[in-house]
Amino acid sequence: MGKRVLLVEDEPNIIEAIRFILSRDGWVVDTHSDGSTAVDTVLSAVPDVLVLDVMLPGKSGFDILRELRGASATADLPILMLTAKGQGRDRELAERYGANRFMTKPFSNSEVLETVNALQAGVTDQA
């Protein structure tokens, strides 16, 4: 089983926090911060787990999610959506477009690590 995660996020402090948490647990963490090129980045080297922010420059995480779910290479890719807004509508959209899990910022380090490991292990249903 691979342990490669792609983090699509544009806030440097969140990138550093997640990179630190996951790499300490043995994950290889790749990062990308531009929504407009995120789909190509994911498709060029499909990770084991994708952590995707909702609000990105260029294209929203929801649009990226919808495109990835429409591509055969990423139809079953475990995806964790991150959002700064804990609105029910965001969660609803994330579920409708095929996110496996949804997490609201701020989140705890242990929560991120637990969720990414669960997704990698194939536990993809909303907990």
Q: Residue 92 class from Cβ within 10 Å (0-12 exposed, 13-18 middle, 19+ buried)?
A: exposed
- CB contact set of 50 (below 8 Å; sequence gap of 6+): 5, 6, 8, 42, 68, 74, 77, 78, 79, 80
Is residue 127 a part of any domain in this protein?
no
Helix 12-24 / helix 109-120 crossing angle, nearest 10 deg:
60
pTM comes to 0.94
Tokens of 54: 């909702």
CATH for 93: 3.40.50.2300
The domain total for the chain is: 1
Q: What CA–CA distance (Å, rounded) separates 49 from 46?
A: 8
- CB contact set of 105 (below 8 Å; sequence gap of 6+): 14, 82, 83, 84
What's the order of all strands across the beta sheet hosting 79-83?
28-32, 4-8, 49-53, 79-83, 101-104
Least Cα distance to 100 among 72, 118, 126, 62 occurs for: 126
Is residue 126 a part of any domain in this protein?
no
Q: Residue 45 class from Cβ within 10 Å (0-12 exposed, 13-18 middle, 19+ buried)?
A: exposed
Is residue 65 a part of any domain in this protein?
yes
Is residue 52 a part of any domain in this protein?
yes
Is residue 125 a part of any domain in this protein?
no
pLDDT in tens, the chain (127 residues): 579 999 999 999 999 999 999 999 999 999 999 999 999 999 999 999 999 999 999 999 999 999 999 999 999 999 999 988 767 788 889 999 999 999 998 899 999 999 999 999 998 665 4
Domain carrying residue 59:
4-120
